[in-house]
Structure 1
Amino acid sequence: MDLQDLLPDDLSRDLLSGSLRAAQDTENPVRMHLSAAGLRELFGHLLHTLAPDEEVRKCSWFEQAKDTPTVTRRQRATYATQGGFSDEFIASLGVNVDELHKEAIDAITELNKATHVRPQTLQQDPEAIDAFIAEAVGALEGLLISFSECRSSVQNALEKSVYESMMNALVTENFDTISSLSGRGYEVDLWIDDDEVEIVSISAENVRVRFSGIAPVTLQYGPKNDAAEISHDFPFWMVFEAKVETPTNLKLVDHFFDDSGWFE
């Protein structure tokens, strides 16, 4: 996946592309330092956008650092990765992103240093500049991968619970809709694509999961001994929510059952 695709918004993408353009301007004697300033702002924007102070402080794992009254970069990186999930739950999924976080924090420190230009710190060696930018961008990619890997692991861990919750909710929530289309009865045989489970959000308190799929329904008409059957595929989606303390205890919070194709 392209690094641009891992970024959450247009500002992030503009900061990345602008920083790399500055780094590639070989006619500019301060190109590394200008690029470092842009990349530093990109890291800062990501961590503050994905991990607001008030949300980080709500997490059970949060402890105020003794050397600062604010939320630390590492705590922001942790929140952006796992939200309010406990370290124990994340460890149980086999996720270990500590090294990726360390590389990102170290990169931010080096970027901060590089933005202060003095005669003795001006860097104009092409190889050193390329290596510096490559290391910073690599750390950025690692940070974004840590977010993605954790979400993927949470998604895999919850798939069974999501499927069971969906099976229970699908017919219950749409019983009247399906019944109104059938003369005598119906049968539902779900077709499921594993890729249709998506972690929508992980906050300090909740995780939201979206499930979408196709519900092939066989509608039955006429007398039992001479019933006619008509099959139709109904697209649907459902959103479930659970507390981070009990992530498998999913509750349906929103859903949509698309019967428009039947009437068309």
Structure 2
Amino acid sequence: MKYECVSQELRDYADGSNDDFVKALCTGIERLLPDSESPVRLNLIASCFRELLTYQLDCLAAHAAVQQCPWYVQDPTAQAATRRQRLRFAISGGLPDAALGTLGFDEPASIAELADHYKEASKYTHVRPDRINHSDDEVGDFVLAGVTALTGLREEIDYLCDNVKEHLRDAISEHALQKFLETELDELDILSTHTRVECPYVDEIDVEKIDHAYVYVNVTGDVNVELVYGSRSDFRRGDGATLNDSFPFQVSLRSPVNNLENFETTQQIKVDTSSWYE
């Protein structure tokens, strides 16, 4: 079996990570691939894959966090959260089944694929006489299946975040408008005698994380304002003036995993009015 395709998949996965340990394990696996003279080539690769998944789960799904999720039920055969439960948390945090259903999100195939691949990796890691001297095809298939499943996990995380963003966009827009109406913003008020907020437009929604209790989002956009100069009497005399303008804004929010449209502000609205002074 030629390994160019498998090696490229490994490099692509490594390039998508900013973690040096992940990159090092992928490099190690790639260097082991062509060593067909080693009777324990697959065993060493399997060990790297098992530790790679374990490390990823430790980063994304700590046992304590998983056990605080509203959907968590202790498996009577396990002492802590199972691997499948940790994989679910890595993808969707504490979002309960009802919320996932609303988002149109079923259990990803990558959960079963990674759980099964971990079992197979564990089998090869425990070296026995009948578990050495694997063919090129066996080695290539094992690595390709593993990196495909890991890539699937990353894609499922991105896919869920995209679903959350689109589902919450209207509710976030309404919340942003309400916050603009009820919050005095010095950076806007200083621009005129009276500043009226007309409408904020949400541009980007970034799902920063989903933990056991909340979905955290960072929101950016532009707010349209009417700048009023002069009092009512000034306007009656024809001395008042109005000007329309817009400025970029940013706000950080969070919502409970079991009530996604109930937002609270974690970082107050910031409006960038620097363009006004240019």
TM-score, scaled to structure 1: 0.88
- Indicate the SS of the match to 2:131: coil
Aligned partner of 1:247 in structure 2 is: 260
Q: 1:97 aligns with which of 88, 99, 107?
A: 107
After superposition, residues 60-139 of structure 1 pair within 5 angstroms as: 60-139=70-149
Describe the shift of the 1:65–1:8 C-alpha distance in structure 2 as closer, same or farther (beyond 3 A): farther
Describe the shift of the 1:114–1:157 C-alpha distance in structure 2 as closer, same or farther (beyond 3 A): same
Describe the shift of the 1:217–1:109 C-alpha distance in structure 2 as closer, same or farther (beyond 3 A): same
Aligned partner of 1:207 in structure 2 is: 215
Q: 2:61 aligns with which of 31, 51, 55?
A: 51
Q: Deviations over 1:214-240 (max 9, x none)?
A: 224443335433544555542221111
Aligned partner of 2:3 in structure 1 is: none
Contact (CA 8 Å) 2:254, 2:265: kept in 1 or not? yes
Q: Please tell me whether Structure 1 or Structure 2 has the larger radius of gyration of its CA atoms.
A: 2
TM-score, scaled to structure 2: 0.84
Aligned partner of 1:198 in structure 2 is: 206
Q: Does 1:147 align with 2:146?
A: no
* TM-aligned CA deviation for residue 174 of structure 1: 4.5
Aligned length: 262
Q: Distance in 2 between matches of 1:246 and 1:190?
A: 23
- Indicate the SS of the match to 1:248: coil
Which runs of structure 1 show a deviation greater than 6 angstroms over 4 or more consecutive aligned residues?
none
* Gaps in structure 2 of 5+ consecutive residues: 1-8
Describe the shift of the 1:14–1:114 C-alpha distance in structure 2 as closer, same or farther (beyond 3 A): same
Structure 1 range deviating more: 91-100 or 3-12: 3-12
Contact (CA 8 Å) 1:32, 1:129: kept in 2 or not? yes
Percent identity (aligned) = 29
Q: Deviations over 1:132-168 (max 9, x none)?
A: 1111111212222222222222222211111111111
* TM-aligned CA deviation for residue 6 of structure 1: 4.9
Q: Deviations over 1:7-30 (max 9, x none)?
A: 463322332333233224445443
Q: Does 1:15 align with 2:25?
A: yes
Q: Distance in 2 between matches of 1:26 and 1:163?
A: 58
* Gaps in structure 1 of 5+ consecutive residues: none
Q: Deviations over 1:186-235 (max 9, x none)?
A: 45454442xx1111111111111111012244433354335445555422
Contact (CA 8 Å) 1:23, 1:34: kept in 2 or not? no
